[in-house]
Structure formats: structure tokens, C-alpha cells
Chain A
Amino acid sequence: MSSNKKIISTIDGNEAAAYVAYRVNEVCAIYPITPSSTMSELCDEWATKRIKNIWGSVPEVMEMQSEAGAAGTVHGALQTGSLTTTFTSSQGLMLMLPNMYKIAGELTPAVFHVAARSLAAQGLSIFGDHQDVMAARTTGFALLSSASVQEAHDFALIAQVATLKSRIPIVHFFDGFRTSHEVNKLEMLSDEQIKSMVPDELVIAHRGRGLNPDHPFIRGTAQNPDVYFQGRETVNSFYNNMPGIVEEVMNDFSTMTGRKYELFQYTGAADAEQIVIIMGSGGETVVETVEALNAAREKTGVIQVRLYRPFSLDHLIKAIPTSVKSIAILDRTKESGAAGEPMYQDVLATLVEAMQQGKLDHLPKLIGGRYGLSSKEFTPAMVKAVFDELKKDKPKNNFTIGINDDVTFTSLEYDPSYKLDESEWRQGLFFGLGADGTVGANKNTIKIIGENTDLYAQGYFVYDSKKSGARTVSHLRFGPKPIRAPYLITKADFIACHQFNFIEKVQMLEFAKEGATFLINSPYNKDEVWDKLTGQAQKIIIDRKLKVFVIDATTVARETGMSGRINTIMQTCYFALSGVLPREDAIKQIKKAIEKTYFKKGQKVIDQNFKAVDATLANMYEVNYPANSSAADHDLLTVPNKAPEFVKNVTAVMMADHGDELPVSMMPIDGTYPSGTTQWEKRNVSDLVPLWEPDLCIQCGNCAYVCPHSVIRAKFYHKDYLKNAPQDFKSAPINSRGFPETQYSLQVYLEDCTGCNLCVEVCPATDPANRSRKAINLVDKEPILKTEKKNIEFFEDITWNDRSKIDFSTVHGAQFLEPLFEFSGACAGCGETPYLKLLSQLFGDRLLVANATGCSSIYGGNLPTTPWSVNKEGRGPAWSNSLFEDNAEFGLGMRITADKQLNIAKQYLLELKGELGEEFVNEILDAKQILESELAEQQKRVQLLKEKLKTITSSAAIHLLSVADQFVRRSVWLVGGDGWAYDIGYGGLDHALASGRNIKILVLDTEVYSNTGGQMSKSTPTAATAKFAAGGKSGGKKDLAMQAISYGNVYVARVAFGANPQQTLLAMREAEAYDGPAIILAYSHCIAHGYDLKNGLDQQQKAVASGHWPLLRYNPVLRKKNQNPFVLDSARPTISLKDYAYNELRYKVLTITNPESAVELMKHAQDLVNLKWKTYEELATKKASDFVPVG
């Protein structure tokens, strides 16, 4: 029975799927991973709000320590009869595989919802393809694919019913980002509809199969060769029945909703000659293209695969028209070394089998191809190229589409200008900054139009990979029919530039249709703005007869009390100009939406927003432009000529958003990229930058120390250097005594600055005559840019100070060390990166970094440019990322190599004693390498050794040459966040610590999963809120320091650079010098804490002053010397915990949402702090013999 009452919503794929999953389950065991995290977060949020499932109970939502843990919990909950689900992607699904075999082997109904994503291979990617689900195809789970937001919603229900009926667990998947993050208009299922589809008797049957001591049985036995095989075959009939069951459920669903789905859904000509078989969102593109091609008298078709496992021969054969001559099977995955991709092989096997069974009278030509890895665009033009290929006598097999493979020539050529008829759509492109609210406003626009008019709406949002100054591009489509276009807009009716400086950086008008509207937010008025545009932009505007409008949204926002936020202003412009709705209707709709949004905030806020809307319309002007372009063309590629060839040919292309055009031959074959490429990408994120005042400066080095982006650097040099200095180059006599001819300069790399203000906050020197002037102050960049660029050039030529002559045991001294971690894409004011910079300064030229996946691996290793750099000698940190869960093991492996190769090197060195000279050999072997001068000496010796070895032809010499570098002491650091160290990687971390090997662990502790959006970790403190702890964390924070201390032979430090930079420096140096395992827990203020990070240092001080983060060092060397190894470096708490905590939204939130619980939890948290402090104080006063002896 079809329901008349339609609930229309405009949401993304994740919410669409989670909405149903939540309603049909009792337990959700979850763990965050992009792009599926939103599904888990929503379920947690709904549970916190006590929203009920269709049986009237609130599902239990439990965050686990990893996906492996989530799968285990799912398994346990299922085995005891709960309806249980989980959500994951990519590597997360990989961690679930072992349990998935068990769950399927035990015929347990369950649905795992997967936002399908690439697997980490030559590089990690968070974007969408089917590599993860394809890796799960052997587990025995059924694979059900949805291709759109509507389907993600519908199939979540179909999967649940089918699994209960069939007893076969299902992976329900859709394309990561493309579907999971696409916002689209859909028809929602009501609770009644959902309930009517899920038979109670199946739920009860599932419960009945659960473990129960009242009628016990054993499941999960160990089986021998005599019966395992037969046992494995018992499930066959269930798999045989599964396709029929899914088909039946789909039919029932269709009867209920009118939405028809089939296992292999054919669309196209009844007499099609060429067809494509495809799964996932790409199928939507093929469907639309097929319809267009057939309208042009082609005979094409497409089969969208819904149920991929179990793969039903009969259903596939039925779906293929008998007229078909050739078939292309498109896989969104890659199986290196296989005869073909998985679905191609399945279809091939099925058709051959069908031929043999006489169910098929001829075998069409079959070709397989790969497309769309890592969300690579898949467009109608590409689909057409595939159909064109199918018409050939000898179509290419194992082809690729969408890239240029100029190495093995797999790729098909396509004509990018081929487009479907887009005339029914209104398409808009919006270029904004991450922080300017553009995406939020566009999501809102889609909701307004999607839910208040008959129009269909689609939104997709593209972000760059930087966390500060990120650029966003919003793609919005509106039309009278459902929009099935899972690809980006390339011909827009409306283009908006929300940040004026993008004009010079992005060729956004390339995407403008003839006669399109171009809206610019500009500080220049309608008469001035034309001359500020680039030559390219002017030409396109003239050639394509664009209508150009200008508004000074920043001023309008300020004057109408919108706190400088331009989003509502620009949104209003869009409503007024886009023509999606008649202008008056559009304005009415936006006002209606404002009323709805701000209803609770009162009439005043509503009026203020109305005022902003009216002021927008009054301040938006059309620009009349001349018939000819007046400006010169602007060079968008700004990498200087001195950049390395790779940077110019590859990196710069990616930087200019043209990475899609890079051919295979330009790519490194194994994921190896040059270090230190951020220096070539001058992002100019901030308009405000620090300016140094030499007359006030006390040369303390604090600003350089805290700068998260290594933008502030200091050098000292002989005053003669200044003879060639630019006129405005700043310098001051060094303030150390006894160096009358030495000058000091502090240089700000202003194009790399994010304007975070930490340097100003930390500066202790203030002008007594003008209290608002410090020795470093933020000023407008524009007026000083030109001179400072010259100054930077000069500063770069000054040699870095000889590190063996610097006393860098002090913060003051450390500023003179070259940072080999620079200009990362981390957030402005990041609390993690100062530690990494310091690490690179102290040990960078002999440093190996194993970096766990997370924020630090993204700002540390996300293309196009990466921050780990090299010094003039070509030495620098060697960095790699393995996975999230295994970083400690990965780093331990690095240490083992270093130790092993050193032994090999020693063996050969001794073997070559005769040729090399005994004294020289002994010098190398006996070299002390503690002081910087000693390390420098050893580096020289190794250099000499290598030169000598080049002249010796023996095998020993060749071997020794390959490992001789190991004679310089390697510093192996395992870096990652608390998600890694406290949760997913804890087992490995614990093992690495227990190994006793010389590894150093740096935990950048933000007390939350920062990279995936603020989910709770075991480091999250009591009383703080986080995702998965929306009601405030009630449990305690794990004391990883005490756990490590319990081993006795582990150096342990807890540091906070903002509270005591000297202690941080000391701890890092002590840890490195210690010949054994060391762990440093580094307090890292974070955007996920919820405050302006310019106050990060102050909050660090408060964290320490309140006793939340006591500074400590546990040094086993002291224990050996019979001294107390436990040193407390911070004083007894001087402020209460809440004086620290309530400056941060993560704590404050609870006082708003649940004040009583906030009071209770804060009290509990304070008690814990008191208790912890008492314990520490006791430890600090004990005798050496009270601690574990060091062997």
C-alpha cells in the first residue's frame, strides 16, 4: 500500500542511512573514521536526546577503541540477541574483517553501513571508491550498494529486512563523500513504514538464537579436518536463497513506497547493443548518459548492480537484453595483478557459466575498466567514451577512464566538452573560505529551496586539505526533477566569489556558462572593481557576456550587526540573482527561513537579519563593463624558478587545482615525494601578520618558539653582513654580553603566517610609553609585503648559526636552530606543531618520524605540499605514515632497522679495519654522541668514511657504504595524537614501551580525536563534552604517564610548552639522550576545545595551574644514580579546575545543556585532580628505592 503522506527532507547520504539504521537497531558499536563518522555521531546524538527506535527503546551507542573493537562488540551483542549495527569506512572495515568472517559464518543477521573509501596504498586517501568493500567481499557478508542519497535511506531498511529474513549479514555501502556528503532532496520513510517492513517474529527469532544460560549451547568451537569443510558448506542454501529474498524485500518496499529497485537494475534501450555494468553512484551518471545517448538514436543501456554478493547468475542474465553485443564492466577499485577487477571477473564467469548452461545464446564482447578511484570525477563525457569504445571491433580491456595513463596506456580518451542537456538545472558555484560560512549558508539554501518549493536540490562541497585558510567550493543544482548528477559542476549559471583575493588565485570563471551571473564580494565599488579583475577574468566576462554584480558584503555585514559574517548577505544575493525562484518569492523564502531559524532568539534577532537582507539588496550593484579587456593576464602558477623541477612540474600543478590533468608518468611510482615543499606554496592566508620591533625586543626567543607555522626565525651574525642588507632590513645588537660585533635579526615569513597571534600573546616586552605596543605586533600585511619579501630573501642568505656553538638548552638558544618542519597546513594557532618544530630543530638532521594517522599526518603529509624539510646539507627528518592503529609498531620497526644496520655496519667496519686504519675505525666506533659538537664530529667522520669506501671495491666496502650513515646516532620518534596513543594504538604503544628499545614517543595530546571532528578518546577529561560524550564524560582520563612509569625503565614526561617552555625543551632533550624508551605527553590546545586559539598559551598555563595537567619528568637515569626519578615540575594547584575549564566550550557546553550534571561532573573532576596531585606529590617526595629499579 502506497503512503500518501510524504515526508520530504534535504539531507546527506550519511544522515539518510543512519536515520533508518538507528530506528531498526538496539546496539550501535562505533568508532570514527572519515567519511562515515557522521553516521556514528548522529546515532550518538539521537541517543543522547533519547530518541527512540521503532520498538520504543533508545539504542545503546558505545564508542570503542578501534574498529576492531567495534566489530568485536557488534559480534558479542549479536550473539546475545541484540539487533546491532556499526558504521565504518576504509581501514576501519579492514580492521573488522576477522570478525566479519565469524559473524557471517554463524549466520548472524546484521547490517554494517559503509561509506566506501579508498584504502591506503601508495598514499592514504579519505575519498571514495570501492576498494574497502571489495576487500570485504570474501567475508561471507552480502554486499548491497546504494547509488544515491535516497537509496542510502531506502537500502538501509531493505538491508535490515533482508538480513533478518536471510540470516546473512550485509554490508550496505554507498560512495564516500560523493553520496555520504552529498545533500539531496529525498522522501523519508516514516516510522510506521519502517515498522511495517520489519516483522517482529524475525526479531524474536534473532533473539532466540542468542546465547542464554537458561538454555545453553556452545557456538564458536574449534573444528578439525574431519568436519570443518562440511560445516563450511552448510551455509550454501542460505546464500542461494539470499538473492530471492532481497528481491522480495525490494518488491515489498516498492509496493509500500512506489520506489522500484532490482538486484540488477536495467535502464536503456530494449534493443541495446552496448551496455555498461556498474555499481554505486557512478551508475546514476551512466543512467543519465544512456538516456541522452538513446535520445540521439544510440542503442545503449546500463545495469546498476544493487546486490553484488551473493552474485546472482539468473538475475544478471535476465537483466541483459538479448540484443547486447558488447559490455563494459566498470569497477571503482583496483586489484593489482589480477586478471581483471572483481566485478569484471564475476560478470565474465557468470556469462560463461550461463553459456554453458544454455541460458545465453551468445557471449557478448566483455571489457573491464577502472574509474573514479579516490572520488576521481566520473562524468557523462567519460561514460560516452566507454560506449564509444564498446562499438570498436577490438575494444580495450583493463582500461582506465578519467585519467591519462601515458605509461601503460590503459586510459581511454574522452572529450570533456561532451555534456548532457543541463538546461533544466540552475547550477551555482561558490568559492569561499572555510571560516566564512559559505558552505553552511549553501547547505541552508538547499534546505530552504528543497523543503519549501517543488524544486529538487543537490549540494556537494569540495574542501582543500589545509586546516587553516582552507578554500571551499560549493556546487549547487536545482531543477524540476530529481537530480541524478553525482559529478561536479563545470558549466554554471551563477558563480560567486566570496573572497576577493581568490580572483587572482583561482580561474573560477572558466566554469561560467554563456550569459551567466558573476557575483563578487569586493571592497571595491561597481566603478572600481572592473580594473581589479585579472585579464583572463575580464576576457571571459566580455566573451561570454556575463552579468557582473558586486557587493561589499563585509561592510554590509558589519553595518547590519551580523558580526562581520558575510554568509547571510551572500546567500541573499544568490536568492535575488540566481533566478532559481522569482526574485520576490526568493526573498520571501529567505525571510521565512530566517524567522524559522531565529524563532527562539526573539524578534530582535529576526529583525536584525531582515535588515541585513534589505541592506543587501540595497547595496548590490550591477557592474557595467567595457567592450575590451584592460588588464594584463595574471600568472596563476607562482612557484619561483628556483624551485626544484618536481615542484614546478608536479607540485605546482596540484597547487593550481590542475592535479587531475597530471598523467601517470609524472607520478612517483611508490608514493615517494620530496621533502620540504610547503616553502614553495605561499598561501598568504592572513591579512594581519607580526611585525618585529627591534628596539623593544629582549631576544628571548619566545615568539619563535611558540609559532605553530615556523614563520618567525632568528639568526645572529657578524655586523658586516649588513653591508649588503636591504634598506629596511631590521637588526639589533645581540644582547648577550661579549659579542660587540654580533647582530641579531628576527624575520617573519609573512606570506606563510596564519595570523594566530600567539607570538604577540607570548611576547613579554612591552613599550613602557605605549602599553599596547609589544616587541612583536600584528599589523596589516599589504603595506609591508614588498619590503619584507626582500628582507626574507636576504635573511635566507645568512647562514644558519653553527648548532654546535649554540647553547640550546634554553628557549633563548633554541631559536637559533633551523626548523625543519615549516609552514604546515595546521590550524592557525595549532597547539601541536610547536612541539614538532622543536623536535625538528633539536634532532632534525638525524630524525626518523613514524607518524600515526591523524591531524599530524594530514598537516604533516597531505599533498600537494608537505612541511617536513631539509637543511642546507640535505639532511632532515625522514617521515612516514603507516596506519592509525600500528604506529608504535611501525616506529619500533624503524628502530630495529637502525640498530640492526648499525650492527651490520660495525661488522663490516671491523672487517675493513686494515684498509681504513685502526685508529679511524676506533674513533668511529667509540665516538660519544651526546653533545652537538660530538655529533658534528661523527658526521664528519662518517662523511670521510664514505669517501674512503668509494675507493675500495670489496663487497664489504659496498655493503658498509650502504649502511654507514647509521654510525651517526639515529633519533627515532613515534608521533601521534591521543586517539592513537590512548585508544587504537595503545596495545602497540604499550608493547613498544615494554620492548626497552631506544624509541621516543611524542603524544600530541589534544584530549580528543581532532582530525575526525572531536570524538571522545580515553584522554578526554572528566566533565568535558565531546562527540560520543555529548552528556559530558563521566569516566576518568587515563593516566598514561603513570602506566608508563610502572615499567621503571621508561623515561616519561608530561609537558605543556605554553606553561613551561623550558621544561618542554629539557624533557625533549632528556628523552632523546636516554638510551631506552621514552614517552612525552604534550598538552596541545586545539580548535576542538572551543575557544579562540590566540588564548592557547594562557589556557596551557591554566591547565597546569589548576592541576589538570601537572608537569612531570620520570627519569630512570636518576633511579640508577639512587635519586628519586619522579620530578614534579609544576607547583601545587593555585586555581580551581573550573577556572581553567570553563574558558573552553568543551566544558562550558554542559553547563548550558545540563547544568546539574555539569556541577556534579565538575566536582567529580576536581576530586580526581586533587587525588592525582596528592599521589604525585607523594611520589615526588619518595626515596629512589621506592621505585622500580632499572636493570
Chain B
Amino acid sequence: MLTGNTYLSSDRQVFILNKISFLQKLIKYKNMKIHSTYMGLKLDSPIVVSACTLSEKTDNIVKMEDNGAGAVVLFSLFEEQIRKEEARLKFVMSKTTNSFAEALDYFPDLEDFNVGIDEYLENIRKAKDRVKIPIIGSLNGITNEGWIDYSKLMEQAGADGIEVNIFFIPGEIHMSTAEVEHRYLNIIDNIRQSVKIPVAVKLNPYFSAMGNMSLRMKKAGADALVLFNRFYQPDFDINELVIKTDLYYSESSEIRLPLLWIALLYGKINLSLAATTGVQSAVEVIKYILAGADVVMTASSLYKNGIPYLKTMNKELQDWMYMMGFDDIDSFKGNMSQQKISDPTAYQRANYIKILEGAK
């Protein structure tokens, strides 16, 4: 602190002191670090764009970087979509080729066409050419071969990491818990064997022993967990008697389940944790980091407010940190996790009871 200068009037002294204090604060604000590390990747911001269609355009990715995204998880490559395209191609080829003397085929040279994957890899290459922030490929597979082949190709195309989105509903009721868990672990193991870049696993919360499962995933080779995938949940149209397939954006109220698990896992497992779902503003970002997230992912806030909203969120995060006196992310990361709070049972049954009590 500066000490008073005796030959200045007290008013003047106060004025100067205030000014110095403002400048100091400004310097501090400017120097405030919101850096984060996510599965070994150094990020300038903990706010990461989650897999969504916005990243289909390289121009958008550039905009995301310009507005302060820490990293971008590319839109998901759906293996079944590629397979479907391939099957469609095959179908069209087989139905239309060599069956009528005047038209032995209907399309120019289809043999050489590669469906889907090439376009995706090209997106990775283009993004890597134009931005410095990490680009994480997102893979939604269905077969072992798909997971292995496509993750390898993503690595070769320059992806900094891979997020494997295991979107699997065990609708086959004879499938046991162990089988379901084995399937997850097997996928992670296979990918781990085939690539060197870090691998994040985006998963759903419906495991009997989520904590233990997380440990096993770590053992199988995961570098990060992304909590949580939102399952496709259908609705019915009762007039048409059909399944409604409309999608809706996540709400901020949906953060509670991931928040719970991040808070529970933080500090107990040597894995990066990414939070996703329900991030509408810096408020959810802060909450997730307080729970222990290394990064917080959002897409719906950008759909609603546009890509420049990333800048707003970063600023609001910084404002809050400044207000709270935190110099960097690490100084508050996990502060509200189960490990760090005074009453760890608040995260378990006691908390539940308290809520019920409160509802009376």
C-alpha cells in the first residue's frame, strides 16, 4: 500500500489514493488468470463450446476463438450416420446399376465416394489451420471398429483431443449391469490403445455406482469425464399417436445432477472433469467450477445469444472473481466440492433430508 504524502492536502491524498487503488484494481483485473487445464490441454478460458452444429462452419470456430472460447469440441461424428450414408449409397448403387440396357447407372462415378468421415476430418484440418485453441473431435460410435478407426483418423487430422460420446440406452432388458459397464470400458480401452491424444468420455449419469465407474473409466484410459450426456427423451403426440422427436435446449435448472457428481468426484479421482448441460450464463460456469469442474461446456447459450456471448460470459466470470477476490480459477475450483466443504454429508442423504424438511 502507498503511504500518505504529508505535503499534500488530505483531499488530494484521498483522491490520489483512490486513483491508485483503481489502477491497481485494473491491473489486477487485467492480469486475472482464467486459464484452466483440461486433460493436459492448456486453455485460456474454462468455457468450452460443446459439440453442436455451430462448429460445422470453420468461420464460426474462428469467431468462438475471437470471443474467448477455451476450446471447441467439434460437432459429433455419428458413426451410424456414416454407416447410413454408406448403406444408402450402396442401396442406390445396387438398385440402379446394371439393370437396364439404356441406363447402366445414374450417377457420375460413385465408386470413389467416401461418405461422411472425409468431410469431418477436413473440418478438423481447416479448424486447426485457422485457430490456436484446442480442437477436440467428438465421436459418437456404435461399433468397436468405428470407435477405433474414426478416432485414429481424427488424431491424424490434427485433433488435440477426442471426446467419445457413449450414447447408449440399454433398452435390451436382458443386458446386465456388468455388461453395460463392460461395454463402456471396452470402448475406452480400445480408443486408448489406438490414439495418443487425450480422451474424454461423455457419459450419462445412470450408473448404479457412478463413482466407482469413474475410477474404472480412468483405469481403462480416460483422461477426462464430461458430465453429463442428455439422453434423448421422447414425448408423445396423443392425437396422432406418434412419438414426438422435437429437441429442446437445456435449462439452467438442469445443472444440479452434473453439479452433484462433479462436487462428489472432485479431488477423489485424478481425471479432468468437464461440466455440461444447463449452462446459460456465467452463473452456471461459476457454480460448476466451484463444484470442481476444470472446464464448463455450453452450446445452448450460444444458440440463444450468439457466439459473441462467450465474451460476455468470460467477462462476467472475471467480474465475479474480481468481486470475490479470486485471482485465478484454481483459487476457487472445487471450493464447494464435497471434499472441501465443512459438512460433506450435505451432498448425500442429509442434503436430501434437508430439502424435504425445507419443503414442509
Q: Is A1010 interfacial (CB-CB < 8 Å)?
A: yes
In the complex, whether A874 has a CB less than 8 A from a CB of chain B is no
Contacts of A1010 in B (CB 8 A): 103
A434 at the interface (CB under 8 A from B): yes
B114–A1014 CB distance below 8 A: no
| Contact between chains at A563 and B106 (CB < 8 Å) | no
Pick the contact of A1025: B92, B99, B104, B107 (CB < 8 A): B107
B193 at the interface (CB under 8 A from A): no
**Per a CB cutoff under 8 Å, which of B88, B98, B116, B118 touches A440?**
B98
In whole angstroms, what is the CA distance A768 to B239 when docked? 11
On whether the beta carbons of B102 and A858 are closer than 8 Å, the reply is yes
Query: With A45-B109, A1030-B108, A1152-B118 as given contacts, are A34 and B98 in contact (CB-CB < 8 Å)?
Result: no
- A430-477 residues with Cβ-Cβ distance < 8 A to B are 433-440, 443, 461, 463, 465, 467, 470, 472
- The bracket for how many chain A residues form the interface is 35 or more
Would you call A563 and B99 a contact (CB within 8 A)?
Answer: no
Q: How far is the CA of A976 from the CA of B230 in the complex (A)?
A: 52
With A600-B114, A771-B241, A1155-B119 in contact, do A1092 and B91 touch (Cβ < 8 Å)? Answer: yes
The answer to whether residues A1152 and B98 also contact, given A602-B149, A1090-B106 and a CB cut-off of 8 A, is no
A1090 B107 Cβ-Cβ under 8 A: yes
A151 within 8 A of B: no
- Assess whether A792 is interfacial by the CB under 8 Å rule: no
Distance in Å: Cβ of A855 to nearest Cβ of chain B: 9
* A563/B102 in contact, CB under 8 A: no
Give the interface centre of A470, A1011, A1014, A1090 by most chain B CB atoms within 10 Å. Answer: A1090
A858, B102: Cα distance in complex, Å: 10
Closest CB in chain B relative to A1134 CB, distance in Å: 15
Given contacts A463-B100, A472-B98, A1012-B102, contact A1091 B119 (CB under 8 A): no
Q: Is the CB of B88 within 8 A of A434?
A: no
**Could you tell me if B98 and A439 are in contact, using CB atoms closer than 8 angstroms?**
yes
Complex CA distance for A443 and B98, rounded to whole angstroms: 10
**Residue A1027 is within 8 A (CB to CB) of chain B in the complex:** yes
User: Bound state CA distance, A1149 and B119, in angstroms?
Assistant: 12
Q: Which residue of B lies closest to A1158 (CB)?
A: B119
Q: Which of B98, B105, B107 has the most chain A CB atoms closer than 10 A to its own CB?
A: B98
- Among candidates A434, A1088, A1155, residue contacting B98 with C-beta atoms closer than 8 Å: A434
Q: How far is the CA of A553 from the CA of B70 in the complex (A)?
A: 55
A1149 with B102: CB separation less than 8 A = no
Q: Which chain A residues lie closer than 8 Å to B10 at the CB level?
A: none
Contact B101 A177 (CB under 8 A): yes
Q: Is the CB of A470 within 8 A of B100?
A: yes
Q: Which of A35, A37, A467, A1155 contacts B100 (CB 8 A)?
A: A467
The reply to whether A434 and B102 contact each other, CB–CB distance below 8 Å, is no
B107 in contact with A1146 (CB, 8 Å):
yes
A1087 in the interface (beta carbon within 8 A): yes
Decide if B206 is an interface residue (CB 8 Å cutoff). no
A1155 to B118, CA, bound (A): 10
Q: Is A44 an interface residue (CB 8 A)?
A: yes
- Determine the residue in chain B with the shortest Cβ distance to A1010: B103
Q: What is the bound-complex CA distance between A38 and B107, given in angstroms?
A: 12
A334 within 8 A of B: no
**Contact (Cβ within 8 A) A1012 B103:** yes
What string of 1s and 0s marks CB contacts (under 8 Å) between B89-125 and chain A? 1111011111111111111111001111011001000
- Once bound together, how far apart are the Cα atoms of A1148 and B92, in whole Å? 12
**Smallest Cβ distance from B344 to chain A, in angstroms?**
48
**Which residues from A are CB-within-8-Å of B85?**
1148
Residue of B nearest to A437 (CB): B94
Binary interface profile of A, 27-47, with partner B (CB < 8 Å = 1, else 0)? 000000011011001001100
CA distance A437 to B108 in the complex (A): 18
Residues of A within 8 A of B97 (CB): 437, 439-440
Residues 1153-1167 of A, flagged 1 when their CB comes within 8 A of B and 0 if not, give 101000000000000
B46-104 interface (Cβ within 8 A of A): 85, 87-92, 94-104
B235 within 8 A of A: no
Shortest beta-carbon distance from B108 to chain A in Å: 4
Q: Which residue of B lies closest to A127 (CB)?
A: B101
Interface flags, A397-441, vs B, CB<8A=1, else 0 = 000000000000000000000000000000000000111111110
Q: For the complex, is B179 an interface residue (Cβ under 8 Å from A)?
A: no
Q: How far is the CA of A435 from the CA of B92 in the complex (A)?
A: 10
Interface residues of A in 1133-1149 (CB under 8 A from B): 1145-1146, 1148-1149
In this assembly, does A880 line the interface, its C-beta being within 8 Å of a C-beta of chain B?
no
Q: How distant is the Cα of A1090 from the Cα of B88 in the complex, in angstroms? A: 8
| Chain A nearest CB, measured from B70 CB (Å) | 27
Contact with A1013, one of B94, B95, B102 (Cβ below 8 angstroms): B102
Q: How far is the CA of A433 from the CA of B98 in the complex (A)?
A: 10
A265 on interface, CB distance cutoff 8 Å: no
Nearest CB of chain B from residue A1024's CB, rounded to whole Å: 11
- State whether the Cβ of A933 lies closer than 8 Å to any Cβ in chain B: no
B146: nearest residue on chain A (CB-CB)? A604
- Asked if B114 contacts A1152 (CB within 8 A), the reply is yes
B-chain residues with CB within 8 Å of residue A768 when the two chains form the complex: 241
Q: Are A1014 and B99 in contact (CB under 8 A)?
A: no
Q: Within 8 Å of chain B (Cβ to Cβ): is A126?
A: yes
| B251 is an interface residue with CB less than 8 A from chain A | no
Cα(A443)–Cα(B115), bound, Å: 24
List the A side residues contacting B122 at CB < 8 Å: 1155
| Residues A44 and B101 in contact, CB atoms below 8 Å apart | no
B181: CB under 8 A from chain A? Answer: no
Contact A463 B101 (CB under 8 A): yes
| Contact across chains for A1152 and B115 when beta carbons are under 8 A apart | yes
Of the residues A34, A461, A1025, A1027, contact of B102 by C-beta under 8 Å: A34
Q: Do the beta carbons of B88 and A1091 come within 8 Å of each other?
A: yes
Q: Does B90 lie within 8 Å of A563, measured CB to CB? A: yes
Given the known inter-chain contacts A440-B98, A604-B149, A1091-B92, please indicate yes or no for A1011 contacting B103, CB distance below 8 A. Answer: yes
Contact residue among A37, A435, A602, A1012 (Cβ-Cβ distance under 8 Å from B99): A435
Task: Count chain A CB atoms within 10 A of each CB in B90, B91, B102, B114 and give the residue with the most.
Answer: B102
Interface flags, A197-212, vs B, CB<8A=1, else 0? 0000000000000000
With a CB–CB cut-off of 8 A, which chain B residues contact A1087?
A: 95-96, 106
Asked if B254 CB lies within 8 Å of chain A CBs, one says: no
Contacts of A1012 in B (CB 8 A): 102-103
**Does the CB pair A563–B87 fall under 8 Å?**
yes
In the complex, A126 Cα to B104 Cα: how many Å? 14
The answer to whether the Cβ of A499 comes within 8 Å of any Cβ in the partner chain is no
Hey, which chain B residues are within 8 Å of A37, CB to CB? 102
Query: Are the CB atoms of B104 and A1013 closer together than 8 Å?
Result: yes
Whether A679 sits at the interface, judged by CB under 8 Å, is: no
A565 contacts B94, C-beta separation under 8 Å: yes
Min C-beta distance of B194 to chain A, whole Å? 12
Closest to A1009 in B: B103
| Distance of A602 Cα from B79 Cα, bound (Å) | 15
CB of A589 within 8 Å of the partner chain: no
Tell me the minimal C-beta distance from A212 to chain B in angstroms: 36
Q: Does A686 contact B (CB under 8 A)?
A: no
Residue of A whose beta carbon sits closest to that of B116: A1152
Given A437-B94, A766-B241, A1152-B99 contact (CB < 8 Å): no
The residue in chain A whose Cβ has the minimal distance to the Cβ of B153 is A602
The digit string for A749-780, where 1 denotes a CB below 8 A from any CB of B, is: 00000000000000000101001000000000
Which residues does chain A contribute within 8 Å of B90, judged by CB atoms? 563, 565
Q: How far is the CA of A935 from the CA of B195 in the complex (A)?
A: 78
Chain B residues with CB under 8 A of A433 = 99
CB of B119 within 8 A of CB of A1013, answer: no
CB distance from B157 to the nearest CB of A (A): 15
Q: Please, could you name 13 A-B residue pairs with CB atoms under 8 Å apart, sorted by A?
A: A38-B104, A436-B94, A439-B98, A440-B98, A463-B100, A472-B98, A1010-B103, A1013-B104, A1014-B105, A1087-B95, A1146-B107, A1149-B113, A1155-B119
Given contacts A181-B101, A1014-B107, A1087-B106, 9 further A-B contacts (CB under 8 A): A34-B101, A437-B98, A439-B99, A467-B99, A602-B145, A604-B149, A1013-B104, A1025-B108, A1090-B107
What are the 10 closest A-B residue pairs judged by CB atoms, nearest first? A434-B99, A1013-B103, A1014-B106, A439-B98, A1030-B108, A463-B101, A34-B102, A1088-B106, A604-B145, A1090-B92
